[in-house]
Structure 1
């Protein structure tokens, strides 16, 4: 069995994770729950249309590995939803292109329970 290609990020695009006070997920939101696809790299994803921010939860670093990407257009989110291979799409269109921060579920207030939006809360807290 061939192992999937790892998702590689451009280290020059990384910035420090926001503090709990700075971390703000707004609406409208759209999610790509783990149950909607099979991927060896990606657990799930959340897109914030209001802020053009994409949150991807990866499997390779454990399901607590969440990356936040800034300035991602809705067309890129749509492409990810339609992609046959989520990991390949992320490698080709997201990981090298957008500024990102590494987060974890613990980066969110009370492991996500303090989030006002149900979709965001489920994204952060669902294993």
Structure 2
């Protein structure tokens, strides 16, 4: 999955696959996680959030299934 760099103190890049509703997040420490069943509207809100790390923690991290992929 292609990821784009983001301006964040904790996140390095994010990518999204709309057909599978998969959000991929690369942290600055190099770990990569995929979050599943994340709708396109929520991904759009995530992209527009002033703090992507805070948004991830508040609305995605403990609310959606995920796996570490890197």
TM-score (norm 2): 0.90
Compute the RMSD of aligned alpha carbons: 1.5
Secondary structure of the structure 2 residue equivalent to 1:67:
strand
- Runs of 4+ residues deviating >4 angstroms: none
- Equivalence for 1:82: 48
Deviations for 1:29-54, whole angstroms, at most 9, x for unmatched residues? 7x4x22xx421111111100010011
Which runs of 5 or more structure 1 residues have no equivalent in the other structure? 1-24, 105-127
Give the paired residue count: 70
Counting only pairs closer than 5 Å after superposition, residues 22-101 of structure 1 correspond to structure 2 as 31=3, 33-34=4-5, 37-59=6-28, 62-63=29-30, 65-101=31-67
Structure 1 or 2: more helix by fraction: 1
Q: CA deviation at 1:88?
A: 0.5
